[in-house]
Structure 1
Amino acid sequence: MATHQDEPDAQAACRRGSTRQAPAGHTQKKARASRIDLFFLDECGFSPTQPTGYSWSPRGQRRLVPYEAPMRRRVNALGAYRPVGELPTLRFRVYSRTLVSGDIITFLKTLPSGVRPCVVVLDNVGIHVSKEVQRARPLLNRLGLSLFFLPAYAPELNEVEAVFGVIKSYELPERSYATLPELMTAVRRAFRRYRRRLNRRR
């Protein structure tokens, strides 16, 4: 199974037949009109101790955040964000191991509604463009799902990146977790909390 390592031949094959730019205006219009489901997909990693930008403590006292070593205790999440349409939504899965191409394929299969076509925007990391993903594309197409690959080094074009930033900065109030199960629970809770807030904004 393919991992995060790049596969140049697979990347080239996946890019053939795909438009390597931001989703065009007509695609966005179709999504807003609920003629298609437009998802932005990527992965995000969480360490037992999250970066601390700022905090509060009583005057004259230093706020200390305990450090937990990340070895074999990182959590990885797959997220697919649909910002427009009938309802904005966030789909996710959380893993206590390194992600592989099979995880991407299994997750992609859950996205099509069966009601309208589904377009998934993603970058060119190795597990997205692996031979395994290439082989799965005909099946995904039959399910009504097509892949839209972004240019290299353009994370700003993937709208799920901003979602990950909010989840890491605001939805994980505790910045250190002593055990892997604690971190797994916290990450799942953070994604659910963001999804509830997303739905309340409509």
Structure 2
Amino acid sequence: MTPPTSRTWNRRGTTPVIRVRGRSQRRFSIAALCCYKPGERTRLIHRPKRHTEHKSGGRKSFAWTEYCDLLPAAHQQLGGPIVLVWDNLNVHKDRRMRDFIDAHDWVTAYYLPPYAPDLNPVEGIWSVLRRTTQANTAFADPDHLIRRLRHGLRQIQYRSDTIDGCLTATGLTPTTPRLQPQ
């Protein structure tokens, strides 16, 4: 990950040049869920992963099985049903992932239209992360990067107003189904 630059300075009339050491071939992925439940504070559930065997032909991203592990953990932590609003990542639409969702009555999935990152609140989380804890940082090694990622995500977790802002920025309004009289 090339460090984002939020501020820099240089003498007037000269263009600042920021040197960054060579790009690493190591890969990291982060899966995150922005969670909204009426009457409770919003939450961010995340799981970072370091891909060590991607150079030898291994995966470069989360597999459907890792999402299948994340969802029951989120279900247990949240204590209620989960309604997923997912982008069109191929793993999200995998047949085995759909079978998993169909087999569990506590999870429902809806898919965003293609090329609609503005409707995905997690994209706002990545933006906040890049502008705060990741800004102006040249990572010394992969462990430094993962420590900063975890630290930044933990900071966002404790600030439900930041998560609320990312949810509000989508323009989607959270609604709850009305109870039907019996």
Fold match, TM over 0.5? yes
1:126 aligns with 2:64: no
Q: How does 1:25-174 map to 2 (within 5 A)?
A: 47=1, 49-52=2-5, 54-57=6-9, 62=16, 64-71=18-25, 73-83=26-36, 85=38, 86-97=40-51, 98=60, 99-113=62-76, 115-141=79-105, 144-174=106-136
Cα 1:170/1:117, change in 2 over 3 Å: same
Structure 2: give runs of 5+ residues left out of the alignment: 52-59, 165-182
CA contact (8 A) 2:32 2:45 kept: yes
SS at match of 1:167: helix
Deviation digits for residues 55-106 of structure 1 (CA, Å, limit 9, x no counterpart): 23475795734234131x2321111012553111100000112221111111
CA contact (8 A) 1:78 1:93 kept: yes
SS at match of 2:93: coil
Cα 1:159/1:187, change in 2 over 3 Å: same
1:184 aligns with 2:146: yes
CA contact (8 A) 2:44 2:163 kept: no
Structure 1 ranges of 4+ moved more than 6 A: 199-202
Deviation digits for residues 87-146 of structure 1 (CA, Å, limit 9, x no counterpart): 1110000011222111111112222247432211101211001122022123332xx111
Q: Give the equivalent residue in structure 1 for 2:180.
A: none
Q: Which letter maps to 1:135? A: D
Cα drift, residue 201 of structure 1: 9.2
Structure 1: give runs of 5+ residues left out of the alignment: 1-46
Distance 1:58 1:108 in 2: 48
Cα drift, residue 197 of structure 1: 2.4
Distance 2:162 2:67 in 1: 28
Distance 1:188 1:68 in 2: 23
Distance 1:197 1:172 in 2: 17
Greater relative contact order (CA < 8 Å, ≥ 6 in sequence)? 1
Q: Give the equivalent residue in structure 2 for 1:22.
A: none
Deviation digits for residues 25-46 of structure 1 (CA, Å, limit 9, x no counterpart): xxxxxxxxxxxxxxxxxxxxxx
Q: What is the alpha-carbon root mean square deviation over aligned residues? A: 2.6
State the identity as a percent.
Answer: 21
Cα 1:201/1:129, change in 2 over 3 Å: closer
Query: How many residues are treated as equivalent by the alignment?
Result: 151
Cα 1:167/1:111, change in 2 over 3 Å: same
Cα drift, residue 177 of structure 1: 0.8
CA contact (8 A) 2:42 2:163 kept: no
SS at match of 1:112: helix
